[in-house]
Amino acid sequence: MPVASLVLLAAASVGLVALAVQLVYVLRHRRECPLPRSEGAARPGISILKPLCGVDDDLEANLEQFASLDYPSYEVLLGVKDMRDPAYAVARAAVARWPQVMRLVLQEGEPGLNPKVNQLVTLSSEARYDLWVISDSNVRVAPGYLDGIADGFEDPTVGCVTHPIGGIGEQTLGSLLDNLHLASSAAAGVIAAKRLADKDIVVGKSMALRREDVEALGGFFSVKDVLAEDFVIGQWVTRRLGKRVHVATTPVFNVSLRKCVGAFFKRYVRWSVIHHSSVGTMTYLAQGLLNPVPLALLAALLEPGMPAFAAVAALAMTKAAIDVTVFRMLRPEPVSWRTVPAVLIKDALLFVAWCNGLFSRTVDWRGTRLRVLPGTRLAPVETRAPLALSPSEASPGEELLAG
């Protein structure tokens, strides 16, 4: 057997073992009891900062759930860039329906290149409470969501609470691929990195912070030109403030209903560029092992034969079983039989996207072409030099990961 084939087969085997280890840690994490609650402890007020951009799948139902959370004192701030955004009408209707909980906040100015952070700058300035929860518009949550966050912050050494991601509601193949990848790869990675190596990967779909800690980091303005602002803030919480990131045991749920396969692929082509810029080339190459089926197939093509292709089939079925198990564990809905072939389609598309990330350094994001610099800092595509950083942004040797 050629050396290249042996190397690829060995790499695929290592990747499969790593995925099995991730599965074990997900099992342990989900079985862990929630944090204990202090008897008689007052519940702090919570401001939920929810940036909107366009009308996500089932946006009205997503907002309705946040209007009726079982928590004594909270508000939901709905951020919209301007009145031309289709989300503006939905947000206005939500505020009219639940005025006791929801407020509409129009973005003021455009301080940076990250449109989500631009909204967070304005939203945070309007927040009434000192505990902030950044929550994406395409998210739903489990019962006790805000209580779990408040419990996490009873420990003064905790500076950030984040959640693993499940996926629900898929009606098309593209949405199934999206929900499947967020659970089997993103969520499993967050849990395993924390429990195995004590590495923090903060996901912006649900990220809770104290006002005082955000201000100590320079406010959201400090990440206005950073694409992976969630991960960067999580790193800064530990490295600059000396506090911990807590990963909740219960997931939040990405709602994806009718995404097409092309939209899924385009998203992860962009994500691959971000991810490579976050972690560096060696780590990026190593993480490619977590998609072992394409590697095993390449090994078999170099040395074709029935034993080689039988090994690929066995590895593919084992990989599918691991992904489907994690997917099922992180959602309240049953898993369809079509999830098994979807794993193989997902992995093939992600392998192409990963290869693109080895070489590309630009992304198309919301109609703007941007260059992604080390640390996921952004620059217009025509700019050759990195953006000047304020003292609050400068952090030599940051190892960043896109969320």
What is the set of domains in the chain, with CATH numbers?
A: 3-26+261-360 (no CATH), 41-255 (3.90.550.10)
Of 284, 289, 338, 293, residue with least CA distance to 312: 293
**Which is higher by pLDDT, 54 or 77?**
77
Place of tokens 């994406």: 136
- φ, ψ at 308 (rounded to 5°): -65, -45
pLDDT bin (cut points 50, 70, 90) of residue 199 is confident
CA distances from 125 to 66, 114, 225, 357 (A): 21, 17, 19, 36
pLDDT at res. 38: 59
- φ, ψ at 105 (rounded to 5°): -125, 120
Of 229, 265, 272, 266, residue with least CA distance to 360: 272
Cα gap 78→192, rounded to integer Å? 33
pLDDT at res. 149: 96
- Residue 111 and residue 222 in contact, taking contact as beta carbons nearer than 8 Å: no
Average pLDDT of 234-244? 94
pLDDT bin (cut points 50, 70, 90) of residue 344 is very high
pLDDT at res. 262: 95
Place of tokens 């408040």: 150
To 10 degrees, what angle do helices 306-329 and 173-181 make? Answer: 80
Cα gap 174→228, rounded to integer Å? 23
Average pLDDT of 73-100? 96
Read off the pLDDT of residues 101-133 as tens digits, 9 standing for 90 and up: 999 999 999 999 899 999 999 999 999 999 999
Report the share of the chain in percent with pLDDT over 70: 91
User: Strand 368-372 relative to strand 362-365: parallel, antiparallel, unpaired?
Assistant: antiparallel
